[in-house]
């Protein structure tokens, strides 16, 4: 049996970018070139229903938490490897 880890909520690349840049008090539109692709994107959602039903699993982190943790890990890596 395969399981999908997710919140069941639809998220987009734009919401990822918004979360990361907002956390650092930056306006992402000053740093990201989109060529209008981002305005037409479709969000995706992982359905964790089987995990919840069969394994009594539940998400402990929000999408925003994961975005920030990923961005901070990348920033730490870059700073450590300058």
Is residue 63 within 8 A of residue 17, CB to CB? The reply is: no
Per-block average pLDDT, block size 10, for the chain (82 residues)?
82 88 92 72 79 88 90 91 87
pTM, 2 dp: 0.67
pLDDT of 1? 77
Q: Using CB atoms within 10 Å of the CB of residue 19, give its burial: 0 to 12 exposed, 13 to 18 middle, 19+ buried.
A: buried
pLDDT of 40? 60
pLDDT of 39? 60
Token pair belonging to 59: 């998400």
């Amino acid at each position: 049996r395969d399981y999908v880890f997710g919140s069941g909520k639809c998220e987009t690349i734009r919401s990822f970018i918004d979360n990361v840049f907002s956390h650092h008090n930056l306006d992402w539109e000053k740093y990201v070139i989109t060529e209008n692709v981002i305005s037409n994107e479709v969000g995706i959602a992982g359905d964790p229903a089987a995990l919840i039903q069969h394994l009594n699993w539940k998400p402990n982190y929000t999408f925003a938490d994961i975005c920030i943790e990923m961005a901070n890990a990348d920033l730490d890596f870059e700073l450590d490897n300058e």
